[in-house]
């Protein structure tokens, strides 16, 4: 009988509980035992490791739609890759993780994480050398290479869309513009997709340079005197500091455009999981279980051309833009960004959305 573990790491998002539930359900049908590791790698640093034993009632099916992670994603003050690297304890930390996994006597570990977590798993792959490591990509940023979809993204787009829908009503009442700052880090997918969904008048993302005067001129020429401008948190404006939405707001105000800023913040990582994300979570859970059946290891589930298959972690890492991790010295992360030939960019332009200085 196989024994598998499940761990969620990094930022949370909707869909985590769905994929946990589906893995447990599918594994149980195979006659496997399943445990959950609480608080990500933090849970492996306790003695004994902090675990949850799953049975059919541990995570009821009606709770699988909820946001957040039943297993938690880690504590800010705990020893993790970031704090271990900063304090010179990374080797000790890695040995502790390997020892804990050995004590749990796992045959396989399903790690559900973002590009940082998956990059760390590959860069520190010796930790998992004695077990099968299957990774499942989740992030509202959609910045993971080699997969067209990530768990949590669709729900985040829906959450952001709903937030902006409500703002449009008060924007219309008061003849004002709202500059909404989105999450996404250095990737503009979340802002771009939500902007198309709501019919925003401008969408500013890190991947495309914009001219502030062109933006102002564009808004002044919109026939309405209200609307939404989406600003991804990763943009920059030369010569200005502060939150991106505040920077844009000051420029609009100086041009006589009445506006307010709005910050949906962590509501983008909340909300009942959409049907699309639930289906994706189920497909990726099934793919992960098949990978365990097939004795695969160091792989990631991925959706490409409507097929859900595994790709190697080595290919995942090498296929992205490898950059220095901002929080962990001497560690690199593989990132994906909005491609210059993304069809949504042309659609935005065709719909009269100011997207930046596209050549």
Query: Is 141 in the active site?
Result: yes
The CA distance from 133 to 135, in Å, is 7
The CA distance from 146 to 316, in Å, is 6
The CA distance from 135 to 118, in Å, is 7
User: 272: which DSSP letter?
Assistant: P
The CA distance from 52 to 127, in Å, is 21
SS3 label, residue 177: strand
> DSSP per residue over 20-48, as a string?
HHHHHHHHHHTT-EEEEETTTHHHHSSSS
CB atoms within 10 A of CB 192: 30
Active-site position among 39, 141, 186, 201: 141
| CA angle, 151 then 154 then 155, to 5° | 90
The CA distance from 46 to 171, in Å, is 51
The CA distance from 79 to 175, in Å, is 50
> Could you give phi then psi for residue 148, rounded to 5 degrees?
-80, -20
Strands 307-312 and 299-304: antiparallel
The CA distance from 6 to 167, in Å, is 39
β-sheet bridge partners, residue 229: 179, 202
β-sheet bridge partners, residue 106: none
Catalytic positions are 141
């Amino acid at each position: 009988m196989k024994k598998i573990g499940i761990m969620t790491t990094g930022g949370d998002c909707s869909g985590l509980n769905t994929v946990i539930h589906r893995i447990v359900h599918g594994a149980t049908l195979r006659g496997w035992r399943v445990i959950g590791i609480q608080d990500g790698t933090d849970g492996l640093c306790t003695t004994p490791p902090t675990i949850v034993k799953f049975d059919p009632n541990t995570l009821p099916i009606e709770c699988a739609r909820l946001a957040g992670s039943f297993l938690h994603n880690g504590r800010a003050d705990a020893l993790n890759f970031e704090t271990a690297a900063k304090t010179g304890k990374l080797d000790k930390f890695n040995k502790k993780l390997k020892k804990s996994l050995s004590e749990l006597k796992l045959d396989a570990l399903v790690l559900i994480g973002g590009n940082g977590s998956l990059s760390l798993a590959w860069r520190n792959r010796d930790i998992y050398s004695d077990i099968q490591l299957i990774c499942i990509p989740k992030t509202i940023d959609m910045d993971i290479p080699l997969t067209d979809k990530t768990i949590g993204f669709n729900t985040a787009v829906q959450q952001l869309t709903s937030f902006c829908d409500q703002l449009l009503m008060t924007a219309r009442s008061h003849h004002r513009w709202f500059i909404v700052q989105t999450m996404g880090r250095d990737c503009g997918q979340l802002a771009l997709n939500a902007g198309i969904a709501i019919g925003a008048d401008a969408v500013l993302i890190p991947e495309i340079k914009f001219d502030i005067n062109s933006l102002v001129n564009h808004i002044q020429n919109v026939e309405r005197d209200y609307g939404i401008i989406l600003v991804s948190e990763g943009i920059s404006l030369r010569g200005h500091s502060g939150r991106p939405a505040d920077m844009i707001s000051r420029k609009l105000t100086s041009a006589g455009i009445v506006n307010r800023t709005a910050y949906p913040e962590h509501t983008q990582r909340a909300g009942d999981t959409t049907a699309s994300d639930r289906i994706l979570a189920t497909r990726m859970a099934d793919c992960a279980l098949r990978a365990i059946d097939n004795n695969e290891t160091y792989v990631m589930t991925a959706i490409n051309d409507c097929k859900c298959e595994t790709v190697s972690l080595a290919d995942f890492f090498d296929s992205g833009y490898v950059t220095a991790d901002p929080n962990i010295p001497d560690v690199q992360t593989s990132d994906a960004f909005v491609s210059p030939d993304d069809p949504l960019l042309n659609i935005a332009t065709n719909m009269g959305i100011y997207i930046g200085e596209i050549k």
